[in-house]
Amino acid sequence: MLSPPLPLQSGLSIEFVSGLVDVTVAASTVLILAALGEIVAQKAGVLNLGLEGMMLFGALSGFVAATATGNLYLGFGAAILVGMAVAGLHAFLCISLKSDQVISGLMITLLGIAVTTYFGSSRNGEAIDGANEVMVPLVGEYLVQVPIIGEAFFRAAPTDYLALLLVPTVWYFLYRTNLGLELTAVGEDPATADTVGVPVFKLRYAATLFGGALAGLAGAHLSLVFSELWVNNIVAGRGWIAVALVLVARWRPFRALLIAFVFAGLDAFQVQSQGLDLGSGPVLSFLMDPTVMLMYPYLATILILWLASRGEVRERLGGPAALTQPYIREE
């Protein structure tokens, strides 16, 4: 028999905190996947402001493929391929044609919103049976009993585990492999990297495609696992949040993980705090209003992007020196 939840303070309980952590971890997966792909792309010198659009393409294509075939894994596969295809367009425009990366990314985001709204309107509100939660093999049944974090981290969807496993994998690739160091060199000084034989164009293409694959997967996770339905504009600004997250994390995978938890926690608190009594007063009532709380992640994103746009702040962040700069080889 379970013991009654222990009160932490007025209106809060262990049960509430456990639920908050559970929703936070689930909501963070989309941001982690998108941010990891963006980190790799930006480390190679390619800014991808089309994340929002690529995630929308992935969300719809994954949903359509999964409902048509009855197989969620085919849905994820379709989303990854579509994400890579859209990223390939961004790469062609920015790397081969030397187009402005900001304009190309914004164009892809607007294209994603328009195309998915047009083709997805007939399915608006349609639900799907999403992926079942699974436990860690062998020790999962014991780990889920760990207070507060057990259910959140050890009974989750496969894509939740994948996102967490990708964090150390991407870190190891970027900082402990020759290929990762070459990719970083391309993002810092492509001319010097080219002179020592590093394939600048191939690495920039590969990094952008990898980012597109994770953006598509993030979108599919949103429609097939987290929401288990399709609605127009389902991504709802998470692509922009992922871009801001990369700046705050200073292009470090583990920092991106922690900051994704913070952003997802703001979103989760809005959901979990409804009906929670934390006191009274006009200021607190306004701040705890669900419609106001919905704005918190986006206000934080606007603040971060504004700070990052200031030259001295961007310099202190220490981003890739050749970010957004096209590379033109001198013959």
The tens digit of pLDDT for each residue in 135-171 reads 877 777 778 788 888 888 888 899 999 999 999 999 9
Task: State yes or no: pLDDT of 311 exceeds 60.
Answer: no
The tens digit of pLDDT for each residue in 201-259 reads 999 999 999 999 999 999 999 999 999 999 998 998 899 889 988 988 889 999 999 99
Please state whether the predicted TM-score (pTM) of the whole model is above 0.85. Answer: yes
Of 221, 267, 227, 231, nearest in space to 34 by CA? 221
Q: Where does the pLDDT of residue 305 fall: very low under 50, low under 70, confident under 90, or very high at 90 and above?
A: low
Mean pLDDT of 303-326: 70
Please state, rounded to an integer, the average pLDDT across all residues of the chain.
Answer: 86
Answer yes or no: are the C-beta atoms of 5 and 139 closer than 8 Å: no
In the numeric block, which tokens belong to residue 134? 């699974």
Q: Please state the φ and ψ torsions of residue 230, each to the nearest 5 degrees.
A: -115, 130
Please give the Cα distance from 216 to 192 (Å, whole number): 33
* Single-letter residue type at 37: G
Predicted confidence at residue 168, as pLDDT, reads 97
Task: State yes or no: pLDDT of 280 exceeds 70.
Answer: no
Predicted confidence at residue 17, as pLDDT, reads 81
Of 229, 234, 228, nearest in space to 56 by CA? 234
Task: State yes or no: pLDDT of 283 exceeds 50.
Answer: yes
* Single-letter residue type at 281: G
Site of tokens 């200021």: 283
In the numeric block, which tokens belong to residue 153? 């981290």
Residue 118: CB atoms within 10 Å: 10
197 Cβ contact partners less than 8 Å away, ≥ 6 residues apart: none
Mean pLDDT of 179-191: 94
Please give the Cα distance from 243 to 171 (Å, whole number): 18
Of 114 and 328, the one with more pLDDT: 114
